[in-house]
């Protein structure tokens, strides 16, 4: 189609497009050059491609804990399946226990400095004054025929050099013998595993994780995963089946990834009967081991051992807990396609809240996450009590939070329940939707916290939970220490990663769901992502692409701003002008007179601070014939004037102070006490990223205009969101309260 240039001019003038005063930043340009391009492995729509491949590793492990020395020893056989199109002449394995080894360049603690009055524990973190022989002793590595394989250790990773290359499509079986001293959790910072010693009864709880040498990921985007374990960035692992035999003192109870295979030789008849009962108990947990029975176990302290056998399918890791202190409860949870045993293990120090809340929290997480993504596919979901922090593994998590003398504050209890929900939730992200945690912490923590917060909101509405308002203090923080969400895990500060990798992505997804895409369409797209990538390795681009592809929404502006920058949202309602069309047929001279009266009001009519001057008067002229171009039909001028009679015209100017482009929600408060919400999409910023002017026609008279009245968009400064300007915070809060009703 061709248009005459001269005809275009009046159209542009009518749209009132102003040149922006600051440089164009391309905030709506595609992010194609910021994410990996699509290929045969990963499609442009964000799904695994027709040639997507993934390696696989199956494990058979026999391990034992020596309670006297706290040494864990094991022998394992790995069957590695090379599904890649490449021949491999070497393999890389993860040796995370070496992170604590002397001589590891990253051995020291992140804190680094010395200060007056620091306590001995803090000093110990810095100096490792306690001489502890951390890290693996690798006893042997040999192939299926018993030939020794050469290996080289690079800190937390080990390269196994193959005698003959492993061809594409072929499998290899090799075995290793190893041992390491289990660390005391209280003496190592950021410790996710280790033992906890209880001096009161001279007993120990073992929380055993990243304990056996495991295959590193080899994939189409990284080749061999080559980020060392530096404590913050967690794991990147392959899926496989596990047969694990764990030998522990006879009176220990073991909780582990997978299904127990030999209950008749490790559990009593009574315990087995109680377990059968629990399988049919859908409304409350059944105690498998009571407090009294745990107390008896603690006293006896058998020196004999027992071997527990577990089998797990299609998991990316295996963890377990072992102690004679455990009280154990279990109940069944019915999901549409699976019935799961939810189970909790805790010492008496966890009573009474652990008996009341832990298994219930597992159930709540299983139900809400399954609905939001896909049904929990595994047979068991376990929560084990620890002293502090929470840490997730397939089917089992170690969760901090204990009462003191049986008492727990509401806040601590909320924290504990939230931790259990969160860690059980990690079964979806990253245990099944298996992103690379060592590279992108936000991909599992952010997505998991998003559904975790939704679980809290739906199942514990009296608790506090994350909303866009929660991220405001972080977003308005010092830009010199802020990093984009798209920062790799170990490059984030310890003081910032909680907000940047957990809360900010959560709020981003909440905004997409609640205010940008809409719940129904967003939920479907999120589910699509989870289902496309379950048991696979997604990258950030796969998430971004799927959310756009499954919603027909161009979200590049959102991903660009929220994930790739440290800009924040701060919209300023810089002006609202009130007009009325002067509908009488006055001559030009009279109209000018009327206008001039307004200009002489107490406020400058150019920049009025409120509506007290009344409307400005504008005249609307009849359309001259030449403005219709070639069209012969004409407006009904009288009808037009009648329609506008008594209407209020509001011209609203909004400035983008923070930098992030976002939709704008306007709240109109009318003089009759009613309110109205109007939503403008982010697209309003496409032509001018810094300032937009919009005109609205209202029947009623407006007393006040507010932006983002329900705090949907994490606007960091609410004091510039109103016209007339809100005088004080208390006044502001008052009308917030009012507008909520």
Minimal distance in Å, beta carbon 444 to Zn ion?
A: 7
* Closest CB to Zn ion among residues 274, 452: 452
Q: State the pairing for strand pair 214-215/88-94.
A: antiparallel
* Nearest residue to the partner Zn ion, using Cβ: 445
Residues of this chain that interact with Zn ion (CB under 5 A) are: 445
Closest CB 445 distance from Zn ion, rounded Å: 5
For residues 445 and 570, which CB has a smaller minimum distance to Zn ion in the complex?
445
Three-state secondary structure string covering 250-308? CCCEEEECCEECCHHHHCCHHHHHHHHHHCCCCCCCEEEECHHHHHHHHHHCCCCEEEE
How are the residues of the chain apportioned to helix, strand and coil, as percentages rounded to the nearest 5? Answer: 30, 30, 40
* Count of other CB atoms within 10 angstroms of residue 441: 27
Least distance to Zn ion, CB of residue 448, Å? 5
Choice between 502 and 533, CB closer to Zn ion? 502
Among residues 230, 225, 191, the alpha carbon closest in space to that of 207 is found at 191
d(CA 347, CA 254): 13
Backbone angles phi, psi at 134, to 5 degrees: -65, 160
Give the nearest distance from C-beta 318 to Zn ion in angstroms.
19
Note whether 739 and 706 are within 8 A (CB). Answer: yes
Distance CA(43)–CA(539), nearest Å, equals 12
Rounded least distance, CB 131 to Zn ion, Å = 33
The smaller minimum CB distance to Zn ion, of residues 206 and 429, is found at: 429
| Distance (Å, whole) CA 143 – CA 173 | 6
Considering beta carbons, is residue 503 or 716 the nearer one to Zn ion? 503
Q: Which residue has the tokens 């840490």?
A: 391
Tokens for 433, please give them. 């939707």
Q: From the CB of 667, what's the least distance to Zn ion, in Å?
A: 36
**With respect to Zn ion, which residue has the nearer C-beta, 426 or 577?**
426
Q: How far is the CB of 451 from Zn ion (least distance, A)?
A: 11
DSSP assignments along 411-457, one per residue: HHHHHHHHHHHHHHHTTTTTTTB---TTT-HHHHHHHHHHHHHHHHH
Minimum Å distance from CB 372 to Zn ion? 16
Q: Between 445 and 528, whose beta carbon lies closer to Zn ion?
A: 445
- 48 exposed, middle or buried (CB, 10 Å; 0-12, 13-18, 19+)? middle
Our CB check for Zn ion shows the closer of 185 and 422 to be 422
Specify the residue, 28 or 501, whose C-beta has the smaller distance to Zn ion.
501
**Shortest Å distance, C-beta 181 to Zn ion:** 27
- Cα–Cα distances (Å) from 31 to 17, 384, 486, 552, 564, in that order, read 26, 42, 13, 16, 10
């Amino acid at each position: 189609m061709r248009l005459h240039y001269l005809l275009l001019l009046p159209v542009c003038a009518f749209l009132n497009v102003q040149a922006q005063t600051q440089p164009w930043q391309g905030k709506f340009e595609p992010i194609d050059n910021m994410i990996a391009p699509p290929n045969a492995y990963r499609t442009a729509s964000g799904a695994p491609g027709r040639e997507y491949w993934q390696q696989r590793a199956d494990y058979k492990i026999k391990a034992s804990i020596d309670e006297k020395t706290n040494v864990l020893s094991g022998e394992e056989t790995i069957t590695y399946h090379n599904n890649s199109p490449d021949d491999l002449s070497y393999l890389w394995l993860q040796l995370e226990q070496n992170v604590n080894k002397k001589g590891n360049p990253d051995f020291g603690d992140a804190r680094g400095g010395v200060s007056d009055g620091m306590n001995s524990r803090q000093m110990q973190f810095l100096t490792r004054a306690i001489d502890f022989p951390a890290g693996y002793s690798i006893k042997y590595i040999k192939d299926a025929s018993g030939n020794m394989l050469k290996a080289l250790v690079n800190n937390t990773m080990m390269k196994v050099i193959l005698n003959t290359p492993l061809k594409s499509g072929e499998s290899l079986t090799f075995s290793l013998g190893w041992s390491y001293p289990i660390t005391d959790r209280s003496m190592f910072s950021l410790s996710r595993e280790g033992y906890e010693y209880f001096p009161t009864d001279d007993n120990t709880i073992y929380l055993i994780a990243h304990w056996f040498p495991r295959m590193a990921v080899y994939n189409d985007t990284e080749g061999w995963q080559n980020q060392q374990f530096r404590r913050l960035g967690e794991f990147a692992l392959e899926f496989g089946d596990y047969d694990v035999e764990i030998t522990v003192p006879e009176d220990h109870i073991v909780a582990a990834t997978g299904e127990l295979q030999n209950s008749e030789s490790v559990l009593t008849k009574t315990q087995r009967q109680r377990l059968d009962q629990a399988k049919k108990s859908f409304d409350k947990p059944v105690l498998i081991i009571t407090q009294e029975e745990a107390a008896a176990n603690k006293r006896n302290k058998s020196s004999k051992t027992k071997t527990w056998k577990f089998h797990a399918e299609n998991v990316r890791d295996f963890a377990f807990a072992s102690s004679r202190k455990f009280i154990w409860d279990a109940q069944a949870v019915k999901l549409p396609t699976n019935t799961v045993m939810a189970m909790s293990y805790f010492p008496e120090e966890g009573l009474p809240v652990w008996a009341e809340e832990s298994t219930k929290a597992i159930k709540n997480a299983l139900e809400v996450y399954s609905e939001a993504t896909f049904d929990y596919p595994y047979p068991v979901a376990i929560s084990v009590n620890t002293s502090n922090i929470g840490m997730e593994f397939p089917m089992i998590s170690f969760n901090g939070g204990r009462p003191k003398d049986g008492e727990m504050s509401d806040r601590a209890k909320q924290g504990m329940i939230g931790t259990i929900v969160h860690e059980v939730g990690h079964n979806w992200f990253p245990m099944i939707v298996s992103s690379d945690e060592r590279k992108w912490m936000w991909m599992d923590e952010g997505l998991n916290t998003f559904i975790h917060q939704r679980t809290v909101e739906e199942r514990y509405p009296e608790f506090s939970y994350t909303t866009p308002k929660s991220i405001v203090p972080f977003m308005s923080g010092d830009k010199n220490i802020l990093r984009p969400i798209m920062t790799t895990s170990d490059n984030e500060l310890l003081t910032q990663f909680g907000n940047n990798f957990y809360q900010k992505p959560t709020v981003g997804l909440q905004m997409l769901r609640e205010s940008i895409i809409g719940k129904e369409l967003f939920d479907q797209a999120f589910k699509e992502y989870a289902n496309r990538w379950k048991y696979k390795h997604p990258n950030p681009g796969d998430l971004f692409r799927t959310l756009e592809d499954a919603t027909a929404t161009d979200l590049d502006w959102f991903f660009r701003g929220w994930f790739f920058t440290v800009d924040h949202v701060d919209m300023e309602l810089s002006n609202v002008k009130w007009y009325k069309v002067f509908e009488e047929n006055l001559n030009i001279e009279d109209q000018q007179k009327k206008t001039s009266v307004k200009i002489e009001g107490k406020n400058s009519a150019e920049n009025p601070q409120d509506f007290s001057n009344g409307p400005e008067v504008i005249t609307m002229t009849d359309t001259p014939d030449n403005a219709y171009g070639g069209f012969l039909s004409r407006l009904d001028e009288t009808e037009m004037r009648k329609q506008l009679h008594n209407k209020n015209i509001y011209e609203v100017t909004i400035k983008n102070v923070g930098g992030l482009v976002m939709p704008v929600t306007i709240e109109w408060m009318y003089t009759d006490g009613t309110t109205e919400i109007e939503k403008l999409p982010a697209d309003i910023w496409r032509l001018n990223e810094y300032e937009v002017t919009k005109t609205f026609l209202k029947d009623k008279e407006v007393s006040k205009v507010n932006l983002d009245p329900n705090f949907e968009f994490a606007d960091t400064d609410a004091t510039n969101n109103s016209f007339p300007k809100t005088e004080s915070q208390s006044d502001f809060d008052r009308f917030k309260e009012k507008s909520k009703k």
